[in-house]
Amino acid sequence: MPIGLIIASQVGYQLAQRAMPAGANPFAAIAVAYVLGIAACVALAPLVGRPIGIADSGLVRHWPIWALAASVVGIELGYLLAYCAGWTLATTTGVGYSATIVLVALIGAAYFSEAISARRAAGLVLAVGAVWLLIAPPRST
């Protein structure tokens, strides 16, 4: 179920980003989306344990929450600006996800001792190839 949720959410995310009105202030769009997201998180939190409480405010003392916040804004802004600049759904998501796969795998191997088998290495090579195929200019014959 979690992988299905990820896939469905990523598809919905890309379609929503692509359909965003061209004249919308990207920071306003992100802010409104996150206000709605906050409301959803507050409403859904009791389903996984307990309501969000004052004790949860202690998260601001930890660097990962700040890195997550900066990353989320960067992802949102990057996709919005790419689509506004005319990138297509397939190219934007293909390049974004493929490059992320490669970088995260290398970081996992270097800093978290995650193994890269021959099969996974082949997958990374294919991901790099996918990025190249998506962004390389067409060859003239």
Structural domain containing residue 49? 1-86
Q: Same structural domain for residues 94 and 72?
A: no
How many folded domains does the chain comprise? 2
Please measure the distance between the N-terminal and C-terminal CA atoms of the chain and give it in whole angstroms: 47
Q: Same structural domain for residues 59 and 115?
A: no
Q: Indicate the residue among 86, 105, 126 that finishes a domain.
A: 86
Q: Same structural domain for residues 62 and 124?
A: no
**pLDDT tens digits, the chain, 141 residues: what are they?**
888 888 889 999 999 999 999 889 999 999 999 999 999 999 999 998 888 888 888 888 999 999 999 999 999 999 999 999 999 998 999 999 999 999 999 999 999 999 999 999 999 999 999 889 888 888 876
Cα–Cα nearest to 75, from 17, 4, 32: 17
Q: Same structural domain for residues 82 and 92?
A: no
- CA-to-CA distance for 124 and 116, rounded, in angstroms? 9
Q: Same structural domain for residues 46 and 96?
A: no
Q: Same structural domain for residues 78 and 110?
A: no
- CA-to-CA distance for 13 and 37, rounded, in angstroms? 12
- CA-to-CA distance for 95 and 101, rounded, in angstroms? 10
Q: pTM value?
A: 0.81
Q: Same structural domain for residues 75 and 99?
A: no
Q: Same structural domain for residues 111 and 92?
A: yes
